[in-house]
Amino acid sequence: MRLTWDSNHPDGGLRATRKVAVVGLGAVSVVGIGKDEFWKGLFKPSPAGVKRVENFDPSPWLNPKELRRYDRFNQFGVAAADLAMQDAGPLNLPSEKVGVFMGTGVGGLESLETQIILAQQRGYNRVTPFLVPLLMTNAGAASIAMRFALRGPCETTSTACASSNHAIANAAHLIATGRCDAMVAGGQEAAITPAATAGFTNMTAISSCGISRPFDKNRDGFVQAEGAGVLVLEEYEHAISRGAHIYALIEGTASNEDAHHITAPLPGGKGAEACMRLALDDAGITPDQITHINAHGTSTPLNDLSESQAIYSLFGDRCPPVTSVKGTLGHALGSAGALEAIAVALTYENGLIPATANTKDIEDEMKLDLVVDEPRKFETGYIISNSFGFGGHNSCIVFGPAK
């Protein structure tokens, strides 16, 4: 990972000597809770329709008093963080050297909507005093920090569907540069509300048939989903010294902006392509070293076309196997990137790339090696995971094997 981008420097800049390991995974997803259920779920058929974390029971993580001030997005985040911390094992680090970076698109939207309706019906003096802590996007990161008494940097990133990739990338930098020795990082979202659904529907972003089929000829929009994904990142030597299990390394990251349109990607996927190039440069690798792409692949006509163009521009006819787990998971917005990072970590763990569910006929002009129908074996190498958000926000993370 780069420390500086200095063109006058012989190597183009300084590189961090500290490496970032992924040592803990926690998933609260529409296909299951916990990394094992999540992974198994990625290989199951995906029923049509809006995808919720059905029958989510927060009681193992939060008591009734806490629940009154934790919106559903926050409940997901605390649960996922707890699972990730358990998976990581005792970090044995000073609390000020461990931070929390989370991403969310909208935070506690459900609480906001409910309270606005209440206010309209019964007056604004009936609005709960917990409304602000319920709805604020940063309540997610703050709640995790409070739960584990983590006193390092604690921040929330909101870049729509790129939120959690950005949060993970920024967290990795804090470890690489030495400010922190471990980070709890990921994303959380629970925005399947009447108003959000209406907004997405009226902008024709949502699939009318409720089927997520990324890169398919017949794709017609994304399928709303929710959940949280949390990773525990740790400085590599420290992780080794305490005998932690290392799933993968974060080798490079990149963030850039289309500066083009509030929802449509830059034509030709030029912004996404530039972001992927930057991430490879940050990792110090070339395109031929990428052996798998975990795509953003939302199943919207625009995203999938421009992302495929970006991939082709970068890899040409030597396209590594591409998958989009959104065929199975739907689009969990601000938590999507984190759930996909978990899928990447588990691809290293299991040597397997899940197939892109529901996709039958890949669009002719997309020259992708898309993994469909059956999962594909994964040997080793670098994996790039893409997330792109409304607003033109692009984020790419390059993962490497644990070694």
Which spans of this chain sit near another protein (rule: CB under 8 A)? 63-65, 68-69, 125-126, 128-130, 133
What distance lies between CA 27 and its chain's CA centroid? Answer: 11
Token readout for 366 is 């997309």
7 vs 125, which CB is nearer to another protein?
A: 125
Query: Nearest approach, Cβ of 89 to another protein (angstroms)?
Result: 31
Token readout for 312 is 């082709």
Pairing of strands 227-235, 182-189: antiparallel
Query: Nearest approach, Cβ of 138 to another protein (angstroms)?
Result: 17
Query: Nearest approach, Cβ of 57 to another protein (angstroms)?
Result: 16
Token readout for 281 is 């440069």
Query: Nearest approach, Cβ of 68 to another protein (angstroms)?
Result: 8
121 vs 202, which CB is nearer to another protein?
A: 121
Using CA atoms in the order 125, 128, 129, 135, what is the torsion angle rounded to 10 degrees?
-120
128 vs 289, which CB is nearer to another protein?
A: 128
Query: Nearest approach, Cβ of 126 to another protein (angstroms)?
Result: 7
Contact 250, 239 (CB under 8 A): no
119 vs 302, which CB is nearer to another protein?
A: 119
Euclidean distance between CA atoms 71 and 147, whole angstroms: 16
Query: Nearest approach, Cβ of 65 to another protein (angstroms)?
Result: 5
Residue numbers annotated as active site: 161, 296, 331
47 vs 64, which CB is nearer to another protein?
A: 64
9 vs 68, which CB is nearer to another protein?
A: 68
